[in-house]
Amino acid sequence: MPVPAQRDPGVTRDILATWLGDPARLPGARITDLQTPEFSGFSSETLMVDVECGDAAEALAVRVAPLHYKVFPETRFAEEYRLMRILDAGTDIPVPPVLWYEPDPGYLGAPFLVMRRIEGRIPTDMPPYHTGGWVTEISPAERRAMWWSGLGILARLHRLDVTALELSFLDQPQWGKPGLDQRLGYYEHYMNWAYPGPKPTATRALAWLKEHQPSERNVPVLLWGDSRIGNIIYAPGGTPLAVLDWEMATFGQAEEDLAWYVYLDRHHSEGMEVPSLEGFPSQDETIARYEELLGRPMLDMGYYEVLSGFKFTVIMSRIAQAMIEWGLLDADSDFPCNNNASRLLDVILEGLPS
């Protein structure tokens, strides 16, 4: 959900021109175009910058850490930068090349990272891509290609050697051991931090998740965390060009990422009370294909679906609370605990065996 941006384009241009023109980066750089968003997301802000440096031209994206409001209890911007550099240099996961990271908030008000800009199309969240936007205008075959190609990237990610890549910095042991212990500990903390009012659906889901927590029978793998087609830049035809948004990256079972991939698509259709667009594979087809890609059965997928619904409900409660604080909702609105995400989670919980 966007909020009005507060950044002055002229001041921002001057600051970035000086920063980019540093001898260690692009000496003599000249900004030829800067696009600051009319609206900015709650979790971060992205500036589009065109730069000339001598005879060379660069199209850059500057991603600024949350400045006005935090969706997550902590900002893991430095870890996200480090992970993207490792994925770009040492794997075949297509991420935008990250050029620099600036930890000093004195320039743009918060730390920021600079990436090469990848031109392509991203399935929209506003409106959800099953309800409007360019995904509704392409062929069913292209939608199917987008879905399967995104799933293929997910399988490649889950086969990475996290030890060889030295990714231990992503672990958050203060919330438990890697996997479900850590996830439940973190999201219980997040739930209570996100919104001060009642949260009956999330509370009920957390209790169920604790009571039915399965054993984790496979070695934890690197999880994207926000695994969904809405975080992929596509070329026409459905070929992925780049994978975005690694702020939720962690370790756990591959099932967790797969469940999120399926659940967010379900939210954008059933959760919005519209049918899924023709061409998108079903949940059963997706799970069966993923078992082939990973070479093993997907275990406890019903549990991970509840976990996905719980996580997204917590995130939505925080975004809704932000909307109240920004004056976009009335102070007594029940939207933090009664929204599309929580209602879909209610449906999932009602369908569980007693």
Residues 139 and 111 in one domain: no
Residue after which a domain boundary falls, among 116, 146, 179: 116
- Looking at 116, 148, 169, which one is the last position of a domain? 116
pLDDT score, position 9: 87
Q: Which of 91, 112, 77 is nearest to 7 (CA)?
A: 112
Residue 252, domain member (yes or no):
yes
Are residues 253 and 221 in contact, defined by beta-carbon separation less than 8 angstroms?
Answer: yes
The residues with which 250 forms a beta bridge, in sequence order, are: 223
Q: Distance of alpha carbon 131 from its chain centroid, rounded?
A: 20
Instruction: Classify burial at 5, counting beta carbons within 10 Å of its beta carbon; exposed 0-12, middle 13-18, buried 19 or more.
Output: middle
CATH number at residue 165: 3.90.1200.10
Block residue for tokens 């929209």: 124
Is residue 223 a part of any domain in this protein?
Answer: yes
Residues 236 and 333 reside in one and the same domain: yes
122 is a domain residue = no
Task: Please classify residue 91 by burial: count the beta carbons closer than 10 Å to its beta carbon, then call 0-12 exposed, 13-18 middle and 19+ buried.
Answer: middle
Q: Same domain for 89 and 204?
A: no
Q: Which H or E run includes 222?
A: strand 221-223
Domain stop point among 86, 116, 146: 116
Give the total number of structural domains in the chain.
Answer: 2
Residues 100 and 10 in one domain: yes
Structure tokens at 271: 């959760």
Secondary structure (3-state) at 101: strand
Residue 2 pLDDT: 46
Which pLDDT score is estimated for 354?
62
Shared-domain flag, residues 95 and 183 = no
CA–chain centroid gap for 31, Å, is 29
Strands of the sheet containing 112-116, edge to edge, are: 30-35, 45-53, 56-64, 112-116, 98-102
SS3 233: strand
Which residues form the domain of 344?
134-350
Q: Nearest-CA neighbor of 170 among 81, 243, 105?
A: 81
pTM: 0.94
Which stretches of the chain are DSSP H helices?
A: 9-20, 77-90, 140-158, 180-194, 200-211, 254-269, 283-294, 301-325, 340-350
Say whether both 180 and 296 belong to one domain: yes
Contact at 8 Å (CB) between 155 and 290? yes
Question: Is 126 within the bounds of a domain?
Answer: no
> Is the domain of 200 the same as that of 100?
no
Quick one: pLDDT at residue 3? 46
Same domain, 80 and 138: no
Please tell me the predicted confidence (pLDDT) of residue 144. 98
Q: What is the pLDDT of residue 43?
A: 63
Helix axes 200-211, 180-194, angle to 10 degrees: 160
Specify if 162 maps to a domain.
Answer: yes
H-only helix segments in 270-339: 283-294, 301-325
Same domain for 109 and 76 = yes
Cα–Cα dist 306/273, whole Å: 19
Taking only the tens of pLDDT, the chain with its 354 residues reads 444 456 788 999 999 999 999 999 999 999 999 997 654 455 678 999 999 998 889 999 999 998 778 899 988 899 999 999 999 999 999 999 999 999 999 999 999 999 999 999 999 999 999 999 999 999 999 999 999 999 999 999 999 999 999 999 999 999 999 999 999 999 999 999 999 999 999 999 999 999 999 999 999 999 999 999 999 999 999 999 999 999 999 999 999 999 999 999 999 999 999 999 999 999 999 999 999 999 999 999 999 999 999 999 999 999 999 889 888 899 999 999 999 999 999 999 999 876
28: how many CB neighbours lie within 10 A of its CB? Answer: 10
Q: What is the CB neighbour count within 10 angstroms for residue 270?
A: 15
CATH number at residue 15: 3.30.200.20
45 and 185, same domain (yes or no): no
- Alpha carbon distance 113, 215 (integer Å): 38
Residues 18 and 150 in one domain: no
State whether 172 and 311 are in the same domain: yes
> Tokens 């090469």 label which residue?
116
**Three-state DSSP state, 231:** helix
CA 62 – CA 45 distance, rounded (Å): 8
Burial code (b: 16+ CB inside 10 Å, e: under 16) for 288-327 equals ebbeebbeeebebbebbbbbbbbbbbbbbbbbbbbbbeee
